[in-house]
Amino acid sequence: MAILETQELTYTYSAGTPFEKTAVDHVSLKIEEGQMVGVMGHTGSGKSTLIQHFNGLLQPTSGKVLLDGKDIWEDKTKIRNVRFQVGLVFQYPEYQIFEETVYKDIAFGPKNMGLDEAEIKRRVLATAHDIGLSEELMERSPFELSGGQKRRVAIAGVMAMEPKVLILDEPTAGLDPAGRDKILSHIKAYHERAKNTILIVSHSMEDIATFADKILVMSKGKLFCYDDTVNVFARAEEISQIGLDVPQITKVFGELKKRGLDFGKEVYTVGYARDLLLRRLKEREVQ
Amino acid sequence: MLKDITIGQYFPGNSLIHRLDPRFKIVITLIFIIMLFTGKSFLCLAIGAVYTVIAVLLSKIKPKMFWKSVKPLLPFLIITAVLNLLLVSTGDIVWEWKFIKIRSEAIDISVFMIVRIVLLIIGSSLLTYTTSPITLTDAIERLLSPLKKLKFPVHELAMMMSIALRFIPTLIEETDKIMSAQKARGAEIDSGSFMTRTRNMISILVPLFISAFRRADELATAMECRCYHGGEGRTRLRQLKSAPRDYIALAVTILFFGAVIAVSILTKK
């Protein structure tokens, strides 16, 4: 069963004023449990507005958001529980850090859930481990840490609530390549351990290609497509028409195909490309 | 919720009032305020009201907008009126109930006070509604420039004001973002008991202050990189120039002020 579902979700900013703008326009989609979904879209395509509906920070102008098959706005007083089940990490989350120690900041979410001390401790230490923060950092002030470490503290703060669905809005924005790979691999490891559903908004096609099972593409407030990674990158032409990019390696293989070297498969990661090429070379040697 | 704040809101336009030199507008507003406080009779107040209505009509701003700036001060207005009603002890008793005595003069004074304050609010909002904050601070800098001789840091003061005004929308947006982020972590801000809400305010204030300091630091560096060194020898992109209409507007205002003074002298005798 789909864990998250939207039905004809529509959201209009400043309705009834000259500034009226429909940011999300009749979006219906189903996100299956346990998947890792990449969310793509141009600036202003409505992807940030869309993800803020998933945990009830925004209430739809019309349409529904279903979590586990239940409308999240059915009982307004229980909307906080939705936020514990659907964790949302904003862009540049390190700017939300406020506690004196790393431990306390990660524990803020679990504490709001009303868990007991022992459970809070278990969760904080487990997520810190998942995200690659060593235990001696726990009693340090988060403001003394490096940018990448702060980012990981903030992400851990949401992960520690152990949400069924974790949504990250550009978790790697503004980090150097090393910091980026580190965060992504930690998120991937966490996903494999916790077996939860993860949505990652990213501008980097290379990043999305390496981790995503499925890709959700937004364009001008509408759902452009939501499909398996292979199928999405197969539509490279259309995707570049709406102002998005495909991974560089996909472009290279597209050009090769045009010049008569067809591998018969969509290629979107460098590792896979290398395997294909090596195999092709070996076949030649045999001949 | 946060977006409803209208302090110093500017409505771009091209009316006569919009085009007046901001320096004249500030002086005229000051004269208008003094005029309201000089007049002690209803006739003086009527002159002030006529003046205000003319100015509002000339500005072509919807009267509804002025209601927006009066509304937050309503409690204050009501308290003033009630205190005056109860405490003024001259004049005939109009209405009596147990120890409460309402006198005719008390009613007069309360109405007078309310009308005067409402006019005051409308007149001063007209200044901020028709003048962009940047031109306003420019004008203040020019008007205060004689104080430079007394070593008063006029330029620095104006610069601080512009920066503060410039960052109000930025900080509102920032607050909104931090609130959403903490709500996503289950902080109760709109709901919950008073104690938990207060405690959760810390989770918003700390990040907000940190980011405000960071922004200030970055701005200072950026200004230094562009060789900012204060007002000395600095030229302006937008020069303030006075036109005949500015002098006419000033003359009309002084005329009204004169009328108020004349009326108060005549009615006194």
Interval B41-95: pLDDT, tens: 888 899 999 999 999 999 888 888 888 888 888 898 999 888 888 887 777 777 7
Residues of A with CB below 8 A from B185's CB?
83, 96, 108-109, 112, 157-158, 161
Q: How far apart (Å, rounded) are the C-alpha atoms in residues A74 and A66?
A: 10
Residue in the block written with tokens 């009309």: B252
Whether A75 contacts chain B with CB within 8 A: no
CA distances from B264 to A202, B267, B269 (A): 71, 5, 9
CB contact (8 A) between residue B180 and residue A87? no
- Name the least confident of B75-79, B175-179, B198-202: B198-202
- pLDDT band at residue B27, thresholds of 50, 70 and 90? very high
Residues of B with CB below 8 A from A113's CB?
186
pTM of the model: 0.76
Averaged over successive runs of 10 residues, the pLDDT of chain A (287 residues) comes to 89 76 90 92 89 92 91 87 93 91 94 92 93 91 91 94 94 88 90 91 86 90 90 84 84 86 80 87 83
Task: Answer with the residue of higher pLDDT: A32 or B10.
Answer: A32
Give the chain B residue nearest A81 (alpha carbons).
B186
- pLDDT band at residue B264, thresholds of 50, 70 and 90? confident
Which tens digit of pLDDT belongs to each residue from B180-196?
999 999 888 777 778 87
CB contact (8 A) between residue B187 and residue A112? yes
Residues of B with CB below 8 A from A96's CB?
178, 181-182, 185, 203, 207
Residues of A with CB below 8 A from B183's CB?
57, 83
The fold for domain A2-246 equals Rossmann fold (3.40.50)
Q: How far apart (Å, rounded) are the C-alpha atoms in residues B36 and B33?
A: 5
In sequence order, what are the beta bridge partners of B95? B102
Structural element, H or E, at residue A285:
helix A270-286
* Longest Cα–Cα distance in chain A: 71
Q: What is the pLDDT of residue A17?
A: 66
CB-CB contact of A150 with A142 (8 Å): yes
Q: How far apart (Å, rounded) are the C-alpha atoms in residues B91 and B84?
A: 13
Structural element, H or E, at residue A273:
helix A270-286
CB-CB contact of A102 with A137 (8 Å): yes
Task: Answer with the residue of higher pLDDT: A264 or B263.
Answer: B263
For chains A and B, count residue pairs whose Cβ atoms are closer than 8 Å.
55
Whether A84 contacts chain B with CB within 8 A: yes
CB contact (8 A) between residue B180 and residue A157? no
Q: Dig out the tokens for A159 from the structure.
A: 């992960």
Q: What is the pLDDT of residue B51?
A: 93
Whether A98 contacts chain B with CB within 8 A: yes
Q: How far apart (Å, rounded) are the C-alpha atoms in residues A268 and A204?
A: 12
Residue A112 is nearest to which of B180, B186, B207, comparing CB atoms? B186
Neighbours of A17 (CB within 10 A): 8
Q: How far apart (Å, rounded) are the C-alpha atoms in residues A211 and A37?
A: 8
CB-CB contact of B110 with B94 (8 Å): no
In sequence order, what are the beta bridge partners of A201? A39, A169
Residue A134, helix vs strand vs coil: coil
| DSSP string covering B121-185 | HHHHHHHHHHS-HHHHHHHHHHHHGGGGGGT--HHHHHHHHHHHHHHHHHHHHHHHHHHHHHHHT
Residue B203 is nearest to which of A55, A93, A108, comparing CB atoms? A108
Q: What is the pLDDT of residue A35?
A: 92
Whether A55 contacts chain B with CB within 8 A: yes
CB contact (8 A) between residue B202 and residue A109? no
Residues of A with CB below 8 A from B188's CB?
80, 112
Residues of B with CB below 8 A from A112's CB?
185-188
Residues of B with CB below 8 A from A161's CB?
185-186
Q: How far apart (Å, rounded) are the C-alpha atoms in residues B250 and B23?
A: 11
ipTM of the assembly? 0.86
Residues of B with CB below 8 A from A84's CB?
186
- Average pLDDT over chain B, rounded to whole? 86
Which tens digit of pLDDT belongs to each residue from B241-256?
888 999 999 999 999 9
The amino acid that residue B185 corresponds to is: R
Q: What is the pLDDT of residue B269?
A: 59
Residues of B with CB below 8 A from A89's CB?
184
Residue B207 is nearest to which of A80, A83, A96, comparing CB atoms? A96
Residue B177 is nearest to which of A77, A88, A90, comparing CB atoms? A90
CB-CB contact of A136 with A54 (8 Å): no
Query: Counting Cβ atoms within 10 Å, is residue B183 exposed (0-12), middle (13-18) or buried (19+)?
Result: buried
Q: What is the mean pLDDT of residues B31-43?
A: 90
What is the DSSP code (8-state) at residue A170? S
Residue A98 is nearest to which of B177, B183, B207, comparing CB atoms? B207
CA distances from B235 to A16, B28, B141, B238, B240 (A): 43, 26, 13, 9, 12
CB contact (8 A) between residue A113 and residue B186? yes
CB-CB contact of A31 with A51 (8 Å): no
| DSSP string covering B7-62 | TT------SHHHHS-HHHHHHHHHHHHHHHHH--SHHHHHHHHHHHHHHHHHHT--
What is the DSSP code (8-state) at residue B189? S
Q: Is the pLDDT of residue B1 over 50?
A: no
Whether A112 contacts chain B with CB within 8 A: yes
Structural element, H or E, at residue A239:
helix A236-241
The number of angstroms, rounded, from the C-alpha of A264 to the middle of its chain's C-alpha atoms is: 30
Q: Is the pLDDT of residue B6 over 60?
A: no
Residues of A with CB below 8 A from B182's CB?
96
Non-local CB neighbours of B143 within 8 Å, separated by 6+ positions: B23, B26, B27
Residue in the block written with tokens 């706005």: A73
Question: At CB < 8 A and 24+ separation, what contacts does B32-39 make?
Answer: B32/B123, B32/B253, B33/B120, B33/B123, B33/B124, B34/B257, B35/B253, B35/B256, B35/B257, B35/B260, B36/B116, B36/B119, B36/B120, B36/B123, B37/B116, B38/B257, B38/B260, B38/B261, B38/B264, B39/B260, B39/B263, B39/B264
Whether A113 contacts chain B with CB within 8 A: yes
Give the chain A residue nearest B175 (alpha carbons).
A96
Q: Which residues of B touch A (CB under 8 A)?
A: 177-178, 180-188, 191, 202-203, 206-207, 210-211
